[in-house]
A and B are shown apart, each in its own frame.
Chain A
Amino acid sequence: MNALSLEIGLRGAGVMLVCLVVANFFAAKRWRYEENLAGAEPMVRQIFHVHCAYILSIMAALALLCLGWPQLLMDGRMGRVLCGFFGLFWGSRVWVQLAYYDRQTRRENRGWDILFISVFATLSAMFTLTALFP
């Protein structure tokens, strides 16, 4: 793998991340976050919204970096550390999907389940490869 193909891969990861950010807004509607949280105490609702927004901001910032400045992720020790972190971040997300999320819900939405697992695995592989790239 050369630097050019790695850069193209990172830009592809950026596109996937943009899609994930957009998908989160649809997920909020699909899984009726508001109705499901309506009975919860205000603090619980607020913490959920805050965590959700912060995770989205991480994905959006990473997308921006991948699409606009992929070379920053490929250069130097820090780029490797950042990519290593996101390799773990997305790798663990595959594990969360497989081991933690409700099996019945996943079975009922198998197509989406496979799509998201594939996206998370691809992102993990892409960032891990960038971290290891000489």
Chain B
Amino acid sequence: MKDLLQTGLLIGGGSLVALSIASFWIPKALGWREKLAGLTPLMRELWWTYSIYVWSSHVFFAVLALGFGDWLMGGSGSAIAMCTFMLLWWSVRLWLQFFGFDLSEIEGSAANRVAKHLLTLLFIGLVVLYAGLLAWNTGWLPPGGPR
């Protein structure tokens, strides 16, 4: 199970790096500049500020998964807290993917459909990964967790 989780962390971390890089294309793909043009300057500034901070959080999660996997599987209180937080983060994002966003205005091109399915797959994978890590750290997974 430990090997599986370690592999999951590598794949999850790599996927987060890919997501962070791909995020640079999101504003263009969704036409943010044109769509935000009608907002007041402050709302536009808030928009970009929030977006960049969420993006930086994804980069940090990637750094954690790729550089601090041992710590994330170490069974410490802080590892449990971090895994719980990331599990909540991605669970809510997965829920939003299915029930939160109104995607009807997005062009139904093949590329957009593929991107949507890849994102859904990524969110499912991350939820499973962090649920697994949480279960491992709390000792719910065989062979009895790290302690």
Binding site for A on B (CB under 8 A): 30, 32, 35-36, 38-43, 45-51, 53-54, 56-57, 60, 63-64, 68, 71, 76-79, 81-82, 85, 88-89, 92, 96, 100-103, 105-106
User: How many chain-A residues does the 8 Å CB contact rule pick out?
Assistant: 40
Q: Please indicate the chain B residues that have their CB under 8 angstroms from the CB of A46 in the complex.
A: 100-102
A127 to B6, CA, bound (A): 29
Chain B binding surface SS class: helix
Most chain A Cβ neighbours within 10 Å, of B42, B45, B88: B42
Q: Is A65 an interface residue (CB 8 A)?
A: yes
Q: Is the CB of B57 within 8 A of A58?
A: yes
A87 to B48, CA, bound (A): 20
Q: Is A39 an interface residue (CB 8 A)?
A: yes
Q: Is the CB of B43 within 8 A of A43?
A: no
Q: Please indicate the chain B residues that have their CB under 8 angstroms from the CB of A50 in the complex.
A: 96, 100-101
Q: Is the CB of A33 within 8 A of B43?
A: yes
Q: A51-B54, A57-B89 are in contact. Are A76 and B42 (CB under 8 A)?
A: no
- Quote the shortest CB–CB distance from B56 to chain A (angstroms): 7
Selected A-B contacts with CB under 8 Å, 23 pairs: A40-B36, A41-B35, A43-B35, A43-B101, A46-B101, A47-B47, A47-B51, A48-B43, A51-B50, A51-B54, A54-B89, A54-B92, A55-B50, A55-B53, A58-B53, A58-B57, A75-B78, A77-B68, A78-B78, A78-B82, A82-B78, A85-B60, A100-B48
Q: Please indicate the chain B residues that have their CB under 8 angstroms from the CB of A92 in the complex.
A: 56
Q: A43-B102, A43-B106, A89-B53 are in contact. Are A65 and B81 (CB under 8 A)?
A: yes
Q: Is the CB of B49 within 8 A of A96?
A: yes
